[in-house]
Chain A
């Protein structure tokens, strides 16, 4: 948004300059000169707009790449719903992108298989809510975020042991 505003302002300035130049002309040669100058100004303005758009597009691409590189899954420690520094960095990338669009997201909370199913259902919700609250605190409107807990019902890794469990303690952004 910021870049588009800058481009818009630059464009306005250039058009104003071209207009002032055009008004000050009094004879034909001067008119021709003025016309040439106006054309150059318009071309410059167009160029500036194109550059701004390209820069905005590049920024959007950068944000999308950042999101793609962190992925859609945030991991948690055992019996914890605190965002780890890693998870925070990942969520930050999503927040930055979400602030440039108006998409809605669904946060699905999951746990590992240890403990009872209904307690884990509540723990999964706590995790999804922790991610939601962090996003809201960083400027994403809460109405854009839906949370749902699946508890331990949908593991990514079926086996037991920490190597499997750590993959299952997660919030997925969809």
Chain B
């Protein structure tokens, strides 16, 4: 029995390794802030279980707004304030210096201090504690704090990603894996493996549950799954489409698309009673619902005007208004927490790009220059958009900042990756 379990664990680990993402930064801001993250001192003896400083350095680099100093250029390795000599850091043009200490075996404690090299002052100090098994997540929380201190925007490093990875099988059915990883692509875990398509993964607002569409029954069906317990529930099994699950901001309702009554329409399912309410009634395709952060209206894609465009349905008044007009194809909206920035898939000149539509000015700005871009997902702090695109014949993930200034790619080591879903802030 133990051997069987072990082999299962090893198999999953092998899958995980193949599904792992690699990060390649392709474009940063023009004048990124130079920051030195000195290796954190491991105070328990022996080898440190995790290179916390390297995780923080990777996070800051990936934001595109920081240019971390290379370790081998550092003239000292301070881990306490009295070991800091500012001239060592001015000499290598570092604007900021982060130092830290890590202790604890079961419970890990990270203490850190941030210094302004030019002003020669301590800017900030902080502490993160938590289970040692979550060392990387603790490091991401350090990154979040540093990022917020220096940019004024909360960080979104201590978050997670869902995505679908696919291994092609030339002689039969492909392998689909619903994968959960940290925001930097590390620690991938396969949540579901299937020979039938898996798509449309989405998060519950508290980050504890997910929903997705699986064809495992030979037809599409919507499932919800608890991440801590693994408990899974099939929510729908209707004739026709069962797609696009989207959790309401209060967590009690799920918007979805069903075609059981003829054409694809948006429905709401009360998750406690499983009672369905039909939202749209149109012979056109109505699909891809997403909630406004206040939960009072939904955006969705419809081709009722001839081509797919974004529409907004007001739940109280029951009225529908068209949102996008620019270009012949705008679909699959996702709204930032500010309720203003809407990312969409936009077609221009036959190419599909990610664009951002401002609900206040009604202006649309194309963010990407890659092709066949789809499935945009916005970070909970509204700073970055993760999306799927193609590189050669392979599906990869890529990210772009909402101002278009920062870009990076996250190809998998093997196979195709698609349908990224950035988690909300995780309740601790």
Residue numbers of A with Cβ under 8 A of B are 113-119, 121-123, 125-126, 147-151, 153-154, 158-160
Q: Pick the contact of B241 from A113, A149, A153, A158 — CB < 8 Å?
A: A149
**CB–CB A118/B243 < 8 A:** yes
> Which of chain B's residues have a CB closer than 8 A to the CB of A118?
199-200, 243-244, 257, 287-288, 301, 332
Interface residues on B, range: 35 or more
> Could you jot down 18 A-B contacts, CB within 8 Å?
A115-B331, A116-B288, A116-B301, A116-B345, A117-B199, A118-B243, A118-B257, A118-B288, A118-B301, A118-B332, A119-B285, A119-B308, A119-B331, A122-B285, A122-B287, A123-B285, A147-B240, A153-B199
Q: A132 to chain B: closest CB distance in Å?
A: 11
Q: B327 to chain A: closest CB distance in Å?
A: 13
Q: B244 to chain A: closest CB distance in Å?
A: 5
Q: Give complex CA distance A74, B70 in Å.
A: 58
> Which of chain B's residues have a CB closer than 8 A to the CB of A123?
285
**CB–CB A158/B393 < 8 A:** yes
Q: B255 to chain A: closest CB distance in Å?
A: 12
B215 at the interface (CB under 8 A from A): yes
**CB–CB A119/B241 < 8 A:** no
**CB–CB A150/B345 < 8 A:** no
B220 at the interface (CB under 8 A from A): yes
Q: Give complex CA distance A119, B347 in Å.
A: 14
14 further A-B contacts with Cβ under 8 Å, apart from A125-B259, A149-B241, are: A115-B308, A115-B331, A116-B308, A116-B332, A116-B345, A116-B374, A117-B200, A117-B375, A118-B243, A121-B220, A121-B241, A122-B287, A154-B174, A159-B393
B197 at the interface (CB under 8 A from A): yes
Interface residues of B in 189-209 (CB under 8 A from A): 197, 199-200
Q: By CB atoms of chain A within 10 A, which of B174, B331, B419 has the most?
A: B331
Q: Give complex CA distance A115, B371 in Å.
A: 11
Q: Give complex CA distance A118, B243 in Å.
A: 7
**CB–CB A122/B264 < 8 A:** yes
Q: Give complex CA distance A147, B241 in Å.
A: 10
Number of A-B contacts (CB under 8 A): 81
**CB–CB B374/A122 < 8 A:** no
Q: Pick the contact of A117 from B241, B308, B371, B419 — CB < 8 Å?
A: B419
Given contacts A113-B372, A114-B352, A150-B215, is CB(A119)–CB(B393) below 8 Å?
no
B212 at the interface (CB under 8 A from A): no
B390 at the interface (CB under 8 A from A): yes
**CB–CB A125/B241 < 8 A:** yes
B109 at the interface (CB under 8 A from A): no
Given contacts A116-B288, A116-B331, A159-B393, is CB(A125)–CB(B264) below 8 Å?
yes
Q: Give complex CA distance A80, B79 in Å.
A: 64
Binary contact track B240-273/A, C-beta < 8 Å → 1, others 0: 1101100000000000010100001000000000
**CB–CB B197/A154 < 8 A:** yes
Q: Give complex CA distance A117, B199 in Å.
A: 8
Closest to B307 in A: A79
Q: Give complex CA distance A121, B215 in Å.
A: 12
**CB–CB B285/A116 < 8 A:** no
B149 at the interface (CB under 8 A from A): no
Q: Give complex CA distance A17, B30 in Å.
A: 103
B187 at the interface (CB under 8 A from A): no
B15 at the interface (CB under 8 A from A): no
Q: By CB atoms of chain B within 10 A, which of A116, A149, A150, A159 has the most?
A: A116
Given contacts A126-B285, A160-B390, is CB(A119)–CB(B240) below 8 Å?
no
Those 5 A-B pairs whose CB atoms lie nearest each other, nearest first: A153-B197, A122-B285, A116-B332, A122-B264, A116-B331
Closest to A113 in B: B372
Q: B417 to chain A: closest CB distance in Å?
A: 13
**CB–CB A160/B259 < 8 A:** no
Q: Pick the contact of B219 from A119, A121, A148, A154 — CB < 8 Å?
A: A148
Closest to B329 in A: A115
Q: Give complex CA distance A142, B240 in Å.
A: 14
B168 at the interface (CB under 8 A from A): yes
Q: B194 to chain A: closest CB distance in Å?
A: 11
Closest to B394 in A: A158
Closest to B345 in A: A116
> Which of chain A's residues have a CB closer than 8 A to the CB of B374?
115-117
**CB–CB A148/B372 < 8 A:** no
Q: A21 to chain B: closest CB distance in Å?
A: 61
> Which of chain B's residues have a CB closer than 8 A to the CB of A122?
241, 243, 257, 259, 264, 285, 287
> Which of chain B's residues have a CB closer than 8 A to the CB of A117?
199-200, 374-375, 418-419
